[in-house]
Each structure stands twice: as C-alpha cells, then as structure tokens.
Structure 1
C-alpha cells in the first residue's frame, strides 16, 4: 500500500478541499435543494455536514494544541444531526460561505502543524491528529461524490482507495476474511486471519465504493468463495465514531 505521510496527507486535504469548494461554487439554488446521493438528504444536508465536520476537526486540533480535549460535536451525534438539519435549508450564498470558512479553518489548523503536532492526542476515536486528518480526507472525498454532480468513485485515487481498504476492514464480519483483488493490482486481505474466505474482484475504485457503501461506477464486482460465484458478502455498519456513513 502507498504510505501516507503527514506531508502527503496535507497535500491530499488541500486537493480534496479544492474539489469540494469547486463543486459548491458551481451549484445553483435549485441544485442545493435537490436530492443528493444519500437517501433522505438534499445537497444542502451534505454541504451542512461537510462544513460541520471540517469545523469539528479544526476544533479538535485547536484544543490539542493547547493540551486540551473536546468532543467532536457539541451534543454528540444528536447535536451533529440537529446542526445539519438546521443548516440544510440555508441559501446558496450561506452554504458557500459556511463551507469555504470551515475548509479554510481546517486547512489552516492542519497547515500550522509541526512534526510533533501530528501525534498530539484528540478525542476523535481516541486517536491522534494524524487520524483526524485521515478522517477529514475521507469525509471530503466521499461527500464530494455524495453531492451527485458527476464526480463518482471512479475519481478516487489509488492511495485513497487503499486507505479506505485499511480503515473499512472493520466492516468485515467476525470470522470472515475478504481478499480484495483489484484488477491489475496486488490483492489485499482484510478481516479474520484464517476465517471463511471470500474473494472480491473488480476495479480498485469499485471495490472501495462497495466497502464505503457507495455505488460502484466502472463495472460489475464479482465475488467467489471456494472457486464458486457468490453474492457480495454483507458488511457490518460503518466503524463507530466515523460520521461519513451519513
């Protein structure tokens, strides 16, 4: 797998933020009110969530820099949900302002880190700042796709997909082992060593999309077990504490 360094992660965060800001800049008022790729959410909900998680992760870093900690969202998951619902109906200019300000805040927080700063503890998933950076990267890239403006999972980079394979190994049920076989690339095994094995073949981005609960776009995935074709295996819920599932 491609190694992600703090320097590389910062580049990816800036790139992903530019994509989200670029999409937002091209939306119309009607676009914002239209359904997104997430059931029950408009694009306004997605934009509200993107602004919310960017601000929340920036706050994690700001507190960590002072040697303090704070929960990811005020009021926990329920507080997060309330904030999204309150902001989803904002006007297009309000959404643009919120997203731009939140992305700028987050990028400034990550951009100001020294080597030690990436290892400071944060509340999010009981991890460190680097983990928070990976989480924000996932949020921005996947939700750019969820906005449903034509930027599908086929645009996800190899390093991003490989990072998803690692993070979403937690979705493999106990006692099972998935051998992910992207076309033309080395296979990746996730799940229980020695567990019941299922091989999932397909394009790299399609496998990543399936693991992330999104719709593959480049072709059919194929699953086999004991050399026989089978249905794609069931996945556990998105890992606890990781809000990008919705």
Structure 2
C-alpha cells in the first residue's frame, strides 16, 4: 500500500487513550518475555541495550506525568530537567538490576495512567511544553505515550513486529511520520507494501520493502 496525504482519518483523543493502554500492555508483555540476563543484551536501537530502552520508556512515563501534573495544577513542570540530564538518567538506568528496572517501568506506567484518568476535560485542553520545546495541548500526551510503548515494544527485539500493532494506530503513525519528514505523495509513489512494513520504513526501522529509499532515524 501507499500512504496518501489526507487519506488517513484523523485520530481522536479516545483512540489515543486506547492505544496508550494497549501499547503499555504490549510493552509489559515484551518485558515479561525476558529473563534477567536478557536485559543486558542489545536492543534493536543502535548503541542501546534493552536496559537502556526500558529505562527510557520508564523515564518517559515519569516525564509525561510531569506534563499531566502541569495540566492539572497550572504549575509549570517540564518533562526533563535538561537534555543532558535525560541522557544521563538513561545511561544510569542501564546499570540498574533487572528487577529494579522492571519495577520502575511498571510503577511509572501505572502512575501515568492514574494521573491521566484524573484530568478533567478542561484540563486536557491546557497547554504544556514537550521535551522538544513544542507547545501542545495536554490532550496530546496519550498519543505521545502510545507511540513510545508500541514502537519501543518492537525495538526490544523479543519477536514483536510492526505487524503486531493495531492497523488504525499504524495508519495514524505513518501519517504523522510522513508529515514530519515532509514526504509528499510523489515521494511515496514507488513505495508499496503491507502497512506494517511501510510504517516500519517510515519510522527508520528494519523492513521488508524492496528498493525503498533509506530514511534516517525517528523517535
């Protein structure tokens, strides 16, 4: 298939909440497949072990929780103290014991879900600032979390692929990445294949497409 501009239905807030929950369940199931020694082996992201990746996803829950707190209280609370601190925290996570790292991930995922459940419709409309210094509505946080848990469940390298992700999520993800990469219909004219493979290609992940141009990393 080819992803056409404007062909993908706009995602809704309810979609994003559902995907965040489903993605969290998938990422949790991926961790459950690991033996303690498996945490130290390489993930599918260059230079990162699975510990790096799990630490990143755990820290992301805490960081997005900061944005939810900001929306709830009106008191500014940035995702991370600084890019340098974020990177240092991920490196530190790679040295933590597997059981400690897994417990951190589970705690953060549960606390984020509870915090999101507590926001009112008005609070979801409050503006927050992402780690990329982009002003967004708090209502975008569930989508941000869904991307993290679904895509990184694949990146863990435990046998989960883009084909295991929901089609409606893949359509929304492909549409967003295509837009962010500035790819037009003409750019995609010769790229055809199953939706999971096209989305993996757009996301800069391994794929089975033939003759698709190389794209740089994303997320």
- In the superposition, the TM-score normalised over structure 2's length comes to 0.87
CA RMSD of aligned residues (A): 1.9
Conservation of the 8 A alpha-carbon contact between 1:117 and 1:129: yes
Partner of 1:204: 195
Aligned length: 208
- 2:52 is the alignment partner of 1:45: yes
Alignment equivalent of 1:233, drawn from 192, 200, 213: 213
1:10–1:111 CA contact under 8 A, matched in 2: no
Match of 1:221 in 2: 209
Residue 236 (structure 1) shift: 5.7
The equivalent of 2:118 in structure 1 is 112
Q: Return the offset for 1:87.
A: 0.9
Q: Deviations over 1:96-127 (max 9, x none)?
A: 11000110111112222222232211111211
After alignment, is 2-11 or 81-90 more displaced? Answer: 2-11
Q: Choose between structure 1 and 2: higher strand proportion.
A: 1
Decide which structure has the larger Cα Rg and report it. Answer: 1
Aligned to 1:159: 168
- Conserved in 2, the CA contact under 8 Å of 1:44 and 1:88? yes
Q: Secondary structure at the match of 1:4?
A: coil
Contact 2:33 2:158 in 1 (8 A): no
Alignment TM-score, normalising by the size of structure 1 = 0.78
- SS of the aligned residue for 1:199 comes to coil
Report if aligned partners of 2:21, 2:146 keep a CA contact under 8 Å in 1.
no
Deviation at 1:211, TM superposition (A): 0.6
- Higher RCO, 1 vs 2 (CA within 8 Å, ≥6 residues apart): 2
Name stretches of at least 5 consecutive residues in structure 1 with no aligned partner: 180-195, 223-230, 239-244
Q: Does 1:132 align with 2:120?
A: no
Alignment of 1:33-72 (within 5 A): 33-72=40-79
What 5-or-longer segments of structure 2 have no aligned partner? 1-7
